[in-house]
Structure 1
Amino acid sequence: MEYNGRIVAIGIVGLFNLLRYFYYHQYLELPFRANFFILTTIFLAIAYWCGKQFDNVKYYSEKDYLTDTYNRRTVEQSFQKITQMYRRENLKLGVIMMDLNRFKEINDTYGHHKGDKLLIHLAVIIKKFVKKNDIVARWGGDEFLILVPDCKNNFERVYIQGLQKVLANERFDEFPSVGASVGFAIYPDDGQNFQELIQIADGAMYREKKFRSRTSMS
């Protein structure tokens, strides 16, 4: 969580009290009293509390409460901002869709509490793998989306296969048979529109899911 609201609020109140000090005690030459510090401390405490409420509201408006990843609205806004810049700079953006295999079965068998634990665990794995500027979001249910800025020509070989390897090697606590399927699309190679790229990545993800399902039954 960022501290921008608290920093701004304390800065404004601090500046106000500094001006108050110079106006009353320097310009008007009124006698200085100790209650100036008491009032200043109270004002700063109120400013900190108000700034914290702003930071909390901003944080939860951008984040998924369960997994601490970004939500759909935030990732869509990020896509628009990134692609506006990338059109001018001729750069590429990777869009990755992924979800857990057999997640509904786990919810039905063990309950939603266990399913939530599994989602939190998956989010931790993803956030450990991604790079600093990558954007991880919970797209809905057990689906996650990753935006990978400035992806290179070896994106599939290095990034996607690396992510698949990490997921394949992970043992999801008491659910060792659970895996994850991954699909991707690249802006602007596969499309200019966000929804179009999502559909391409989502389709690739479900083709992999079906392939895994067939191979596990054979």
Structure 2
Amino acid sequence: MHDLLKKTRLLTLLFFIGVVLLTILVVFLPLEMQLEDTLVSNWVLTAQSRSLSFHLFLEKNTEGAQSVSSRSVIRDQLAEYHQQELSWEDLQASTQPKYVEGVRVLENLAYAYRVVEGKILAAYRAADASPTVDDEFVFLDDIPEFAVLNQAGQHYVVVSSEVKKENQCLGKDVLIYSLDPILEQLNNAEIQVSIISEADLSPFLNLPVLRSGKDYRVVKEEGNLYYLECLPDSQHYLSVQTPLKQIVGPTRQGIGFFLVIYLLGQMLLFLLARRGILQYANLMINQVEKSKEEFRAFAYHDTLTGSYSRLSLEHWLERQAKTGYKKALTVVLLDIDMFKDINDTYGHKTGDEVLITLSKTVHRCIRKDDLLVRYGGDEFLIIFQDIDRTWVKDIMSRIEQQLAQDHSFEFPIEISYGMVEIKDINHFYDGLKQADKQMYAQKNGKK
């Protein structure tokens, strides 16, 4: 039963662990993944809103360049120059102040150039603009309409617009806007927006892609999420970066909190269930043990006289033989004289009372460690351990005297017995045969 109880405890624990693991695998992990996926999708929308603000800024810059190129006064003077009606010096002297006045109102403008026939007709540099910017590209014939420029640690966007009259290109306006103000505006403690070159993109190409679209991709790298979008010049990318813990950290903490609450609840249920199971198991074990004790008491003791049974004697002899019992035993085999006549004359109930009286009398006379065994019918064994034979004779005489002094019945209770000393417990029954012969010899001597 104790092994069964151990197995019950183990199975209960394994069941609890199985339920917890199954719940984590089936509920909490999918829930966490789904919530993280939703949060990443929401973050992508946030990154795209940053991208939209950035593109609106670029469109505003393009519109500013186009508005400068479309001013008719300066454009008409350019037409006169191309018709050789106005000299370069006069054109330059007339254009420079008007040009500066026209472009200085544009927000975030750092530099502005009007280029005609590969020469700078008019130029403007904002007071806070870096003087180290390389402006050699303005002389190129194929100036792109849009380009990102990174010089001296600062980002610029270059926007060019043709100056036309009647579909004739008279020159170009090249406006360079600083991107740092819009980047600072888009940045905060959680989101970092920056411009990276195509060369800087290479470390991101082998990272796992979480989302992708026509012009963008979302990748994860070393605990950070990156939203990478190709800019119109196809050589630079808008990068929106956020630490992953900023996105999913609170959700993971919330799920972790609920997981702890769940585990505590499951543990409480487990302890309550375990307590109930163990209480029930202990109750069953106690009942079984009680039944075993009752059976053992019934099997090992004679229910009528309270003395040990023959089965108890056999088990006692087995235990002593296994432990190597070496002391000598003095064994007395006795029975009641004329017991059959007592049963026939006075009835079996009286015979039972005689047996009880004999058992009580013997118990009063023998020592605590001595054994009284009802061997069968009216035969009893008294096993004396470590005692002199003379003392045994005195005890037997005392038993006979007390029986003779008992007047509970209409007849005297007399016994016959045989006594033998057994030095080897393995030869117990051989010695018992000798005691049996002595008992019957004594009984026959009384006839």
In the other structure, the counterpart of 2:421 is 186
Q: Report SS of the residue matched to 2:373.
A: strand
Aligned with residue 299 of structure 2, among 61, 67, 78: 61
Is 1:115 matched up with 2:351? yes
Aligned 1:124-143 pairs, distance under 5 A: 124-143=360-379
Q: Tell me how far 1:68 sits from its aligned partner.
A: 2.5
In the other structure, the counterpart of 2:337 is 101
Greater helix fraction, Structure 1 or Structure 2: 1
Q: Report SS of the residue matched to 2:330.
A: strand
Q: Tell me how far 1:20 sits from its aligned partner.
A: 6.3
Aligned with residue 174 of structure 1, among 409, 414, 424: 409
Whole-angstrom distance in 1 between the partners of 2:287 and 2:315: 29
In the other structure, the counterpart of 2:430 is 196
Aligned with residue 440 of structure 2, among 194, 199, 206: 206
Answer with 1 or 2: which has the greater Rg: 2
Is 1:164 matched up with 2:400? yes
Amino acid at match of 1:181: S
Q: Tell me how far 1:144 sits from its aligned partner.
A: 0.5
Q: Tell me how far 1:162 sits from its aligned partner.
A: 3.0
Report the more deviating stretch, 72-81 or 120-129. 72-81
Whole-angstrom distance in 2 between the partners of 1:82 and 1:150: 14
Greater strand fraction, Structure 1 or Structure 2: 2
For residues 16-53 of structure 1, what are the alpha-carbon distances to aligned partners after superposition, in whole Å with 9 as ceiling and x for unaligned?
A: 769969x969xx64352595455443333222112112
Equivalent pairs counted in the alignment come to 197
Contact 1:164 1:182 in 2 (8 A): no
Whole-angstrom distance in 1 between the partners of 2:279 and 2:320: 42
Amino acid at match of 2:365: F
Q: 1:135 to 1:43 in 2, by over 3 A?
A: same
TM-score calculated relative to the size of structure 1: 0.71
For residues 43-84 of structure 1, what are the alpha-carbon distances to aligned partners after superposition, in whole Å with 9 as ceiling and x for unaligned?
A: 332221121122222233323333222222332443454467
Whole-angstrom distance in 2 between the partners of 1:95 and 1:148: 6
In the other structure, the counterpart of 1:74 is 312
Aligned with residue 43 of structure 1, among 281, 295, 302: 281
Contact 2:404 2:412 in 1 (8 A): no
Report the more deviating stretch, 49-58 or 60-69. 60-69
Whole-angstrom distance in 1 between the partners of 2:410 and 2:355: 12
Identity percentage over the alignment?
A: 25
**CA RMSD, aligned part only?**
3.5
Q: Report SS of the residue matched to 1:178.
A: coil
Contact 1:62 1:71 in 2 (8 A): yes
Q: Report SS of the residue matched to 1:145.
A: strand
Contact 1:102 1:178 in 2 (8 A): no
In the other structure, the counterpart of 1:4 is none
Q: Tell me how far 1:103 sits from its aligned partner.
A: 0.8
